[in-house]
């Protein structure tokens, strides 16, 4: 079952990237901000629904604690959507979507722990794909 959900996620992510590219109009000065607002709106709806359905203990102070992280995420999203205006989707998407592998590598460096072979192979595969795709496009 996990494989079906993985495929659905990959297809949905690809479709979202296509819509982001189409929505990033070079003639509209604020198209990237419109996309960020709509993505934030959908993510906010999802967060509220998740809290309500699962009954997660929520403290308003948690929002203040999370503010630096969320602001950096929003900034990176905005920069990515600005980049979609000027760069081909086949170049931008691997760069934007490599953040998971980069985050994992930074976690391994700054918060060392025992890693399984499965963890190591996964990070290497994603990182290799990222670098191979980008070197082919730029080199």
Residue range 55-64, pLDDT digits in tens: 888 888 888 8
List, in sequence order, the alpha helices (H) in the chain.
2-23, 31-54, 61-86, 89-97, 99-110, 117-138
The helix/strand/coil state of 57 is coil
- What is the rounded distance in angstroms from the CA atom of residue 44 to the CA atom of residue 46? 5
- Put simply, whether the predicted model's pTM sits higher than 0.85 gets the answer no
Reported as a single tens digit per residue, the pLDDT across 27-51 is 888 888 888 899 889 988 998 899 8
> Quick one: DSSP state of residue 87?
S
Q: Where are the domains of the chain?
A: 1-87, 98-139
């Amino acid at each position: 079952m996990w494989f079906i959900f993985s495929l659905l996620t990959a297809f949905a992510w690809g479709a979202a990237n296509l819509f982001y590219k189409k929505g990033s109009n070079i003639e509209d000065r604020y198209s990237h901000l419109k996309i960020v607002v709509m993505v934030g709106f959908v993510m906010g709806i999802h967060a509220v629904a998740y809290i309500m359905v699962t009954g997660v203990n929520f403290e308003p102070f948690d929002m203040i604690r999370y503010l630096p992280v969320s602001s950096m995420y929003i900034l990176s999203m905005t920069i990515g959507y600005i980049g979609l205006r000027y760069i081909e989707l086949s170049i931008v998407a691997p760069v934007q979507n490599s953040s998971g592998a980069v985050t994992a590598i930074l976690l391994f460096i700054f918060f060392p722990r025992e890693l399984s072979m499965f963890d190591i192979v996964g990070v290497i595969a994603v990182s290799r794909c990222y670098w191979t795709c980008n070197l082919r496009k730029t080199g």
